[in-house]
Structure 1
């Protein structure tokens, strides 16, 4: 379990975290979402001990982070957004001779574990290539291998698939799903579709504050507003000006000839919008009520 109470962190005059509190249940995959600069990476740095909070406390597996005698590193695996390596080494050498021994995995056990993790993360074919020639995606895979080398109880993953192609992303996400129940995973990402796919609980951070924490299966029911999509052949601008004045319309976005309207009450919205579409000068190709996505909720709550 991961528990954070009132984490506060400033960098100069910039408030990166503002009394952030959250809990990650044991064995769950927690999706940690937020716009750039919201405080996700700062939270990860504080949990790993790479930085200290100005205020607040955190516990991992019952041990308080940053307290002498309460070492949490032995049961945490960490993948930073930009993992760093000894570039003259090969992945096999790095895991066998450096990452493994940090956790007491040496000798034949170290050789065996390195090969297991290389296979698990899709790096077996590149096991004897110099890391210096790796793409960012391959470095990300090696970073995940390093995080998993000691079979940690807790994984802190900062943008673990951002540099991977679709096939590689699927492989890594499938691996994360397979860890559910055996490891507690805090997954920081901006890829909303990945969060919907693998996470049990979703937390959204904005301007250093947690503005939402909800189980993914209940999130849509609690926070999703009805969504109307309309495709126009003509008359879009005039219709948007009209729709902006309707109280039940929460948010309007336009993309090319399509208007998307988040509304508070679907029946009232239809009652007010449909007659306006019959006006002279308006030609509509499609009027459809659609299922909102996690992206719709995210953008509305973070006011992007």
Structure 2
């Protein structure tokens, strides 16, 4: 089921196009990675989704009987969240809950649960002005979901976190996406692969490509075998024979290495290893892999 649909939304500042008629949909209980280089239009898109900016063209359609006022069922965390430094973490959370319409008791209960999930229980009664950047980022995440939103928008949510903190946040998102949809912009493609179900790739204010993560992985290209050998005439001759094997579609060549794309990864691998052993070829590297999301990302933007 779709939760929200963007139909040709755009945003101009005079003659400058920040977002050019982007169309996409957000599924219910899905985690969507909003990818793209700096200046691609990601933050503008998130701001329009959150209702902080009005599009100069197009429209947003809420589906499934959701109210037109998106603030009632949406949470948002900007890249650099701001807080009142004189308030404690607990006071910040409870105040946000009351402003979202929760009762005092429910705001207190939600605060306790979310501060624990964010790893801030011990710092709950400290002033936020004394929090580190990573602690403020986790507090912002907890605050954004205090009212149990149906859609959570996150702008670079792990940018200020160390590897342990980033892992904790990804675990939180894995849990939360069971109950809500999540859209997150990120430059950390490894994180997107771990937690996201769908991808929206943007460049120069336009949507270049969108789809399911698994489908994009499968369509990103054939698997390949990377082989490197010790120097020797027999090694270069052997490498040349690999290009003629059934199932080989492409081969990137240097004298003592090959990167072979194939439709028959099992057959080519078996033949290559068997003939290397029979010919006494000394292998330095033999790797079977697919294109990473980062490789696909760079190629898609350059097309």
TM-score by length of 2: 0.78
**Residue 165 of structure 2 corresponds to residue 168 of structure 1:** yes
Partner of 1:203: 200
The one-character-per-residue Cα deviations of 1:29-53 (angstroms, maximum 9, x if unpaired) are 1111111111111001111111111
SS for the counterpart of 2:53 is coil
Return the offset for 1:73.
Answer: 0.3
Q: 1:288 to 1:104 in 2, by over 3 A?
A: closer
Match of 1:255 in 2: none
Residue equivalent to 2:130: 133
Flag the 1:289–1:134 CA change in 2: closer, same or farther, 3 A.
same
Q: CA 1:226–1:46 in 2, change beyond 3 Å: closer, same or farther?
A: same
Which one of 77, 84, 87 corresponds to residue 85 of structure 2? 87
1:110 positional shift: 2.1
The answer on whether the counterparts of 1:203 and 1:213 sit within 8 Å (CA) in structure 2 is yes
- 1:102 maps to 99
Aligned to 1:280: none
Cα RMSD, aligned residues only? 3.3
Match of 2:273 in 1: none
Which consecutive residues of structure 2, in runs of 5 or more, have no partner in the other structure?
Answer: 232-248, 269-282
Whether the 8 Å CA contact 1:8–1:56 is kept in 2: the answer is: yes
1:186 to 175, 183, 188: 183
- Deviation at 1:261? 6.3
Counterparts of 1:266 and 1:124, CA distance in 2: 53
Secondary structure of the corresponding residue to residue 100 of structure 1? helix
Unaligned runs of 5+ residues in structure 1 are 235-247, 253-257, 271-283
CA distance in 1, matches of 2:117, 2:41: 31
Offset at residue 181 of structure 1 (A): 3.2
Q: What pairs with 1:280-299 in structure 2 (closer than 5 Å)? A: 285-286=284-285, 288-299=287-298
Q: CA deviation at 1:287?
A: 6.0
Aligned to 2:23, what secondary structure does the other structure show? Answer: strand
1:69-84 correspondence runs (5 A): 70-84=68-82
Q: 1:301 maps to what in 2? A: 300
Q: How does 1:12-23 map to 2 (within 5 A)?
A: 12-23=14-25
Task: Give, in whole Å, the separation in 2 of the partners of 1:185 and 1:227.
Answer: 33
Q: Secondary structure at the match of 1:301?
A: helix
Corresponding residue number in structure 2 for 1:238: none
Q: CA deviation at 1:228?
A: 5.7
Give the match for residue 276 of structure 2.
Answer: none
Is 1:113 paired with 2:110?
yes
Alignment CA distance shift 1:259-1:145 (3 Å) = farther
Cα 1:103–1:133 shift into 2, 3 Å: same
Aligned twin of 2:11: 9
Q: How many residues align?
A: 272
